[in-house]
Structure 1
Amino acid sequence: MSRYPQVCDAATAAQRAFSSFPGLHMTPREWLHITTLMAGPAEAITREQMSAMVSAARARLREVPPVPVFIEKVLYHAEAISLGVQPAQALVPLLDAVRSATRTIIGPGEASDSSPSSWIPHVTVAYSTAEQPTGPMISALGTAVPRREVTIDAVTLVVQWGPERRWDWEPVGTACCAATTGK
């Protein structure tokens, strides 16, 4: 998300609002992300397949223009607090390109198969580590942050080694959208 500083700033502001609450694990700034697709267990995908997925995604995303979206809505869930990315439907071409690239390389059975209509793009700012009432958190931040507009112009394949909250992540490669392929 470092290429999207306005998103990082919104997430940081939300995290500040929650800093006094126990039972929350804040997403480190360098690992703020929108999960597009879970390809499968890292151990089940070879380095060659990872490189091939990035190459296939690059080829497909060359046909997809960058996508203007905004974050504003705060999403409260028992497992996490996130900032919603809207309009979700605008990001479906990126999801489709990534899904197609992944399935081409590792097959249709591995990649998680949530339909675009059930996919809720979001940036998780904090994960719940304890059960607690949401009322005080909603009072601290509200249900919206100041609107931040951003243009999503790339997707990065990241390998997650071990549990998510350990943040042992490894970027493998980035695929850029049509107008940004030269960046």
Structure 2
Amino acid sequence: MRLSIISTHKRIQKGDIGEFEKLFRNLYSPLCHYAFRFIKDMDSAEDIVQDLFYNYWKNREKLEITTSLKSYLYQAVRNKCIKTINHQQVKEKYNNVLRLQGQDYDDYSSSNIETEELNQIIESTIDELPDRCKEIFVLSRYEGMKYHEIAQRLSISVKTVEANMGKALKMFRLNLKGYYQISANQ
């Protein structure tokens, strides 16, 4: 089948669905086999070709094809396969590093997201604390100071430090309560 840039592409650009369907029927299978030669997985090959046709149709009005349409599509499949292979290689290398550290990529991604969510909750809780309470909490938890050291530094009683820490920890328990219930259910 000969696909000329002038006839087929121009008609598809103008929205000729029949011409697009004809193109799809004629090239879908050969493009899938071409993609399979690169990535050795027919499901992935079909995904690549389907994405290609979808994007071609979606962007048809903007595309300026200077070669034959058939050459353009084969080149696009080749480029997408190479990109997929490169992405897979990077993911495998990263997975190997994580495996050496005792983690899996998916576990790492999930735990990373959970850590970020937890950090956001902690930061927002600290921001919600009254100024004195925040100051005492930061000195205790971030600077590692003991209650009597905080009391001395701020010229307040140890009981005031304890009361403010109690207030801060109560706020943390309230804000983290929903987070831990969600995490436990997952």
After TM superposition, the score normalised by the length of structure 2 is 0.22
Task: Say which structure is richer in strand.
Answer: 1
Answer 1 or 2: higher relative contact order, Cα 8 Å, separation at least 6.
1
Larger Rg, first or second structure (1 or 2): 2
Task: Say which structure is richer in helix.
Answer: 2
